[in-house]
Chain A
Amino acid sequence: MLKLVGVETFYGKIKALHGVSLEVKEGQLVTILGANGAGKTTILKTISGLVEPEHGTIHFNGQRIDGEDSEKIVALGIGHVPEWRRIFPELTVEENLLMGGFLIKEKELLYERMEEAFRHFPILEKRKKQIAGTMSGGEQQMLAILRALMIRPKLLLLDEPSLGLSPILVRDIFTTIKDLHQSGVTILLVEQNVNRALSIADYGYVLTTGKILLSGTYEELLNEEKVREQYLGEGKYMRRSKLWSG
């Protein structure tokens, strides 16, 4: 469904991706793991057209999408939930969802989709007139996900959805992601919560400083010395000194 080959992305002169190749098959939940600054966000941004790759190709359902406008990529059915739950803080919940359906031309369909989103997460319906920035972190994250679901994406890109949430909310978010996946949405998930991410993923990639270091299934990755050592070995938290060791 999605295939990246040798993708290189720059920020000015800084090379953030050094030839990334990865694949997401229809119906899969694939996760990208990696330390801070590894380039995970950059991969997602490159896929959804927020930044343009210098080299390499990206194909989505057989169609080449690298270098296309994000407007067109969204229309093809790629939904992106940006890092740090980038909702529109000064818009109401309802307006946030309407923005998610920005490319939907028919009014009826737009409101139908909104109803559907509220059914996913009924708490938000009661708050549809609330200014989104005044909601709790968990609610905002849910809203960010629902907003991306407005176009009923074929592929959903999730950038660290559990970032900054309490453990209970993290659990809820992962349950939601799992439900979404089971309802048939293909998902590319970026996470630092390695255990949780791998436990729901079909396949994982480990990224270090812009390069794919390893890839495999949950079991395969668990057996990898490096993954255990760097991400799982030391209980819940990564040691800071290890974050930068690549």
Chain B
Amino acid sequence: MNIFLYDASFEGFLTVVFESYRLKIVPDTIVEEAEVLPLFSDNVLHISADEQKAQRVWKGLKKKLSPAACSMISVVFLADDPSIPMLLFRYIRKAIDAPKSIETNFGDSDVLEAAKWYKKVGREAERVRQFVRFQKTEDDIFFAPVAPLHNVLPLAVEHFADRFSDQKWLVYDTRRKYGFFYDLQTTVEVTFDHLQINPRIGKINPDMMAEDESLFQQMWKAYFKSMTIKERINPKLHRQNMPRRFWRYLTEKH
């Protein structure tokens, strides 16, 4: 069994593709370095991400595939599921080997599966755009914790940069422990060792809040509560539209 270990980055994944072609070894599975390996791991290959190799694979793909399919690959890669690297590996292999484009061949299970993940990831990114709640800190930074199912922050930040271009903001993925900070000029990736928030509901410590922050939170909560029409209560529809996993950080839900 050929096991490729990589660092879980996109660059790392493309390097896996590169090495697999170079060594002529087809992986049986591609896993993150940190994972516990199965007992019978006979052929384990450690692949370290290499920018140049990754670039060569990406350029090759761009020649062979449409821009839509390339962006599909980079989006699906953000899905949080152990099956993803192998799925994309098979997809890429088929795309490279096939004489004709495979992109719309939904009779192929990998093509269909990739399309499904593409949709799922896109939907999760949309939910982040919907349900992020910023809290204003005393130094005028609008901070929002999120914990999406997939690693979709990279897909959502452009929207925030456009919409909130005149305020500093920080969106932080507490599950993957990294975020994006916008300083009125550019958006940069950041990580913190220790985040000063209430881990259960994501509230920043009261002494770090802007003076009027707690008032606006109260206002929003009150508004949310008043908007419900009791005659029409429908908890199922409520949960369907606003999945429970997002409630944790929603101001109006606490």
- Specify whether A and B are partners: no
Residues of A within 8 A of B (CB): none
